[in-house]
Amino acid sequence: MLSKIANIKTTIILTVMLLGVLFFGFMTIKNLKSEKTRLQSNQKALIQKVVHYRAKDSTSVAVAKQIELSSKEMKNLYENELKEIRKKLDINARKIESITHTSTSTTQTFYTNTKDSMIYDSIPVKVDLYFDKWLTYERIKPINIDKSYVKYTVRDSLITVVYWSRDGFFLTRFFKRKGYEIIINSLNPNTQINYLKSINVKRKKK
């Protein structure tokens, strides 16, 4: 009887150990596949150029794949940038979830209304004025002086969306997630998005 009970206990222990080994192996394979997917996505993100196009309302849009780095990779590859962020913004690297670089340029052609012989601080001047939703421009030129005072303000608003991208054809598209993509849309119709790069920091689950 005791021998039978001992055999049952041994069987239970071995079964639990076997399940533990199988679970550990399953999680290891899962993590390896996830890491392989991440590295492949990063390679594609580094090679693929930013896609530029115009939205339905003719505003500028840029799309790029997002790079996903571990905290250690982030510190090794972008050490100087992280130091600069800490210095300028007082944000520690361990708090950073993602960093996005966007470069834009704004070109706008317009006509100004010139007003002659106005008095500005007791000086006769010419004044050029222009303003709309996105731009305010003011130019003041003293009549007897070659230099002009110019002040302009360009306004913009950027919409940023991060989403999963999928590769493959037909049914395989529903099972293959190949990483994140980031899309930025400038609402100023005179703005062109020239550059886009996004880095997401992958942190280990506690």
Number of domains in the chain: 2
For 127-140, the pLDDT digits (tens) are: 888 888 888 988 88
User: For the whole model, what pTM was predicted?
Assistant: 0.58
Q: Are residues 165 and 125 in the same domain?
A: no
Q: Are residues 53 and 143 in the same domain?
A: no
Q: Are residues 41 and 93 in the same domain?
A: yes
Q: Is the pLDDT of residue 76 over 60?
A: yes
Q: Are residues 48 and 131 in the same domain?
A: no
Least Cα distance to 134 among 41, 45, 60, 29 occurs for 60
Within 10 Å of residue 126's Cβ, how many Cβ atoms?
16
CA 92 to chain centre: 18
Q: Across the chain, what does the average pLDDT equal? A: 76
Domain that residue 53 falls in: 32-107+155-202
Section 28-54 average pLDDT: 74
Q: State how far the alpha carbon of 53 is from the alpha carbons of 58, 183, 190, 194, in Å.
A: 9, 11, 14, 11
Section 115-133 average pLDDT: 72
Q: Are residues 188 and 119 in the same domain?
A: no
